[in-house]
Structure 1
Amino acid sequence: MTDGNSWQAPVAEGALDASVRVPGSKSITNRAFVLAALSAGPTLVREPLDSRDARLMLAALAELGAPAEHTADGVRVQPLTDGAGSVSVALGNAGTVARFTPPLATLGSRTVHFDGDPAIRRRPVAPLLTALAALGADIDDGDRGAPPFTVRGHGGLRGGAVELDSSASSQFLSALLLAAPAFTEGVTVRLVGRPPSEPHIAMTLDMLRRFGASPERHADEFHVPPATLALADYRVEPDLSTAAPFVVAPLLAGGTVRIEGWPVETTQPGDWLRSLVRELGGKAVLDGTGLTVTGGEAVRGAELNLHEVGELTPVVAALLCFADGPSRISGVAHLRGHETDRLAALATELTALGGDVTETEDGLRIRPAPLHGGTFHTYDDHRLVMAGAVLGLRVPGIAVADPATVGKTFPGFVEAWDRLVRGDRDG
């Protein structure tokens, strides 16, 4: 039940028996839209995510000269065309839009102003802007290293070799690699510092190849030569990170949940959830049509380094509050620069509900403690809404604040979660 400002997360009254289908991957959808815009002809992107972030990306591409149309089969994205004058790109609080579209603005002749929600002004983007300037881009950020900023296009970008500190976000690297085929000299990126989420880097390289580019990697050096991209038809996989609360639900409530359409092979970091289920005492079986998860007798305490799968931290932290022993999450210091400071938010909110959760230098320490009802604040962060839902499976009276925030990646999440807990099969 929702009252507009909060949602009473439903308690599981018995073992689960449900089937769910999650929407398309946000990470894949927005990469596909960018690569489609850089292609020589139109691209039909099938089964894309329809959410605030995806709509912001399409709106941004339209401002930059690549309009799209919704069809019965998906979204057809047209190639970028040049133009003149001044346009504005609304970033919302979408990291992929804030990072992936500035390189595209250098390819045309427009002056492009970037800004968004107050939260996006706190998210790091300086290393990307610095790298673009080193490659020849004309950028004015008022020395803030954050939105608002302006990119003045001069009809293309030379490209070449550049050093990049991508330790705060792998999206800085992906942004340069995605646009590189359209640079006159392509790009060679030498990393300074270790980026989080290697799976997202692998995703970017894989999708570049699918669209016709020839990216190369040698340790911490990446090279993408100029190329003409073309792919008439691309299908988006289900979002495995968005599936996280559904995957862990049977570990807390018992029973079985099936996630339809789980790919047999994928670069998505969310695929790690299969091994997590087994490590914490459950069972996960993948076949050609989906993933079936069955709960075990108890959730085991665990030491988890989530550096490569940091976006799963909110749901995993909520799950570990019910473990049979102490747990620690490490390797996720970069989450302080996500939609909110996720580590501080989780420690604050879980402790307020009776949990024993403390921040560490790069993660969280979680000790078993009885939880009670109360308001779980979500800080304009879609993953925290999902974490609140997980808590509600076991704890009556969890009021999840601002549930509409989850529309960033799954506009129908609340309804799908209610059906899950009731045991409806909607797959």
Structure 2
Amino acid sequence: MAPGIVGARRQNGVVTAEPRPWLAPSASGPATATVRLPGSKSMTARALVLAALADGPSVIEAPLRARDTTLMSAGLRALGVGVDTSADDRWVVEPGPLRGPARVDVGLAGTIMRFLPPAAALAEGTVEFDGDPHARNRPLRPIVEALRSLGVGIEASPSGGLPLTVRGAGLVEGGEAVIDASGSSQFVSGLLLSAPRFTKGLVLRHEGPPVPSAPHLRMTTHMLRAAGAVVDESVPDVWTVEPGSLHGRTWTIEPDLSGAVPFFAAAMVTGGSVTLAGWPAASWQPVERLSELLTELGAEVTRTADGLTVRGTGSLHGITADLSEVSELTPVLSALAALADGPSELRGVEHIRGHETDRIRALATELSKAGAEVTEFPDGLRIEPRPLHGTTFETYADHRMAHAAAVIGLTVTGIQLSDVSCTSKTLPEFPELWAGLVARS
């Protein structure tokens, strides 16, 4: 994070946020810009864990520097890993023997609370995990029970979540485990990332409703293989990871696709054009599904050597969509649906009730306050566009809720965010980047 970013501050090397009310700026014309965004949070988190467990040093190029990733780096340092984040564009990870005692602050990050306990089980000593107040409400029991079944000593809260204590024995025997990962694909990813270091590797079987966010699971297995792991996912809902070394390497992080979505939405709402610069020819993120959804909503999406471009066509259409693979997009797509020319149904995302907040309930509440007619389902929303008006849009310490409010504020005056600093979770520069985009409209 560059010095001087408003709404975020550093304490002991960790980005923390201070509540900051913010009036979402309205656009006076088409938003047209080329934006350069930091790296993917999901890829940065996975690269950090794989580098920490590798047999030699790694370099992470173009990482995301935000609250989630600085807390992840701090958690790995607490476990004895050398993580040099002094350069914004190039982090160096020097693996070392994992050790306790240690305390890990997860903030509100699902990646930390689900990726680091399996790694902590490989440490010698006790590792304690806790985080923001709402982090204690985020589901964690499935990964706790899976680790216990593998012989790991863990003490959890009565709900099976934070605060959590892992009593590392220096190794995990591994073997076979069964998990219900219908609440989050991160339960699977967290176990797979450490599995090559288990003495017997891991055969992990999912039993339950479908696992959401399949692209994130594919990202995990792709990155494991890139680090030298042998992974078999040929049997549905079964992942087999052979024991073996993970190799240090250079990771080049793609721009964050989820972080780009509000900027693409700005082009759609205002009839402009936004290009995400630096987009790779081949991606580990769900760009095809995003392109399909934005096209159905009324955008034109193209990929060229210049990047990924979204153009508004002057109209927004209601859609019926299963978002189970791209649930992170639900808040911004809900905002677009509230501004569309017809009703939308967005389903398949029951698991986002366990994200930074209950996103389904929060979206229903805040969009209704702004004037939309919203029906809440267990797994999603039906949104009937109505004339919208200004309101105070609660963000619930959730960066995606802030993004949704900012999109609505482009065409609805008087949308006041209760706190925009929550965007520091994944993009501390968001308020300034957004204001700059709107100023060019």
Q: What TM-score bracket applies, with the shorter chain setting the length?
A: over 0.9
Q: 1:243, 1:259 within 8 Å by CA — same for their partners in 2? A: yes
- 1:304-323 to 2 correspondence within 5 Å? 304-323=321-340
Q: Does 1:212 align with 2:232?
A: no
Deviations 1:306-344 (A, max 9, x none): 011001000000011011111100000111100000000
Please, which of 96, 102, 105 is the counterpart of residue 80 of structure 1?
A: 96
Deviations 1:221-263 (A, max 9, x none): 1100111111331111110001010112121111211111122
Q: 2:126, 2:166 within 8 Å by CA — same for their partners in 1? A: yes
Q: Does 1:228 align with 2:248?
A: no
Deviations 1:169-212 (A, max 9, x none): 00000011100010000000011122100000000000001111
Q: 1:91, 1:114 within 8 Å by CA — same for their partners in 2? A: yes
- 1:130-149 to 2 correspondence within 5 Å? 130-149=145-164
Q: Answer with 103-112 or 280-289: which moved more.
A: 280-289
1:48 Cα offset (Å):
0.6
TM-score, with structure 2 as normaliser: 0.93
- 1:315-334 to 2 correspondence within 5 Å? 315-334=332-351
- Matched with 2:24 is 9
**Amino acid corresponding to residue 190 of structure 1 in structure 2:** R
1:71 Cα offset (Å):
4.8
C-alpha separation in 2, matches of 1:53 and 1:66: 17
> How many residue pairs were aligned?
423
1:96 Cα offset (Å):
0.3
**Amino acid corresponding to residue 216 of structure 2 in structure 1:** H
**Amino acid corresponding to residue 76 of structure 1 in structure 2:** V
Q: 1:355, 1:371 within 8 Å by CA — same for their partners in 2? A: yes
**Amino acid corresponding to residue 420 of structure 2 in structure 1:** P
**Amino acid corresponding to residue 421 of structure 2 in structure 1:** A
Q: Answer with 25-34 or 290-299: which moved more.
A: 290-299
**Amino acid corresponding to residue 113 of structure 1 in structure 2:** E
Local SS of the residue matching 1:13: coil
Local SS of the residue matching 1:168: coil
Q: Answer with 280-289 or 67-76: which moved more.
A: 67-76
Please, which of 178, 183, 192 is the counterpart of residue 168 of structure 1?
A: 183
Q: Does 1:38 align with 2:46?
A: no
1:4 Cα offset (Å):
6.0
Local SS of the residue matching 1:304: strand
C-alpha separation in 2, matches of 1:42 and 1:300: 49
Q: Does 1:282 align with 2:270?
A: no
**Amino acid corresponding to residue 189 of structure 2 in structure 1:** S
1:158 Cα offset (Å):
0.2
C-alpha separation in 2, matches of 1:245 and 1:255: 13
Q: Answer with 281-290 or 26-35: which moved more.
A: 281-290
Alignment gaps of 5+ in structure 1: none
Local SS of the residue matching 2:276: strand
Deviations 1:273-330 (A, max 9, x none): 2222211222111012301111113101110110110010000000110111111000
Where in structure 1 do 4 or more consecutive aligned residues deviate above 4 Å? 1-4
- 1:35-184 to 2 correspondence within 5 Å? 35-72=50-87, 73-84=89-100, 86-184=101-199
Q: 2:19, 2:422 within 8 Å by CA — same for their partners in 1? A: no
C-alpha separation in 2, matches of 1:367 and 1:197: 26
Local SS of the residue matching 1:222: strand
Deviations 1:382-417 (A, max 9, x none): 101110110011101111121000000000001001
Q: 1:240, 1:271 within 8 Å by CA — same for their partners in 2? A: no
Local SS of the residue matching 1:251: helix
TM-score, with structure 1 as normaliser: 0.96
**Amino acid corresponding to residue 203 of structure 1 in structure 2:** M
- Matched with 1:195 is 211
Q: 1:19, 1:420 within 8 Å by CA — same for their partners in 2? A: no
Q: Does 1:345 align with 2:362?
A: yes
**Amino acid corresponding to residue 373 of structure 1 in structure 2:** G
Local SS of the residue matching 1:286: strand
Local SS of the residue matching 2:169: coil
- 1:324-403 to 2 correspondence within 5 Å? 324-403=341-420
C-alpha separation in 2, matches of 1:11 and 1:273: 25
Local SS of the residue matching 1:365: strand
C-alpha separation in 2, matches of 1:4 and 1:98: 23
Local SS of the residue matching 1:153: strand
- Matched with 2:14 is none
**Amino acid corresponding to residue 373 of structure 2 in structure 1:** D
1:270 Cα offset (Å):
5.1
Local SS of the residue matching 1:102: helix
Q: Does 1:254 align with 2:280?
A: no
C-alpha separation in 1, matches of 2:133 and 2:127: 19
C-alpha separation in 1, matches of 2:397 and 2:107: 11
RMSD: 1.5
1:220 Cα offset (Å):
1.3
**Amino acid corresponding to residue 378 of structure 2 in structure 1:** E
Q: 2:98, 2:120 within 8 Å by CA — same for their partners in 1? A: no
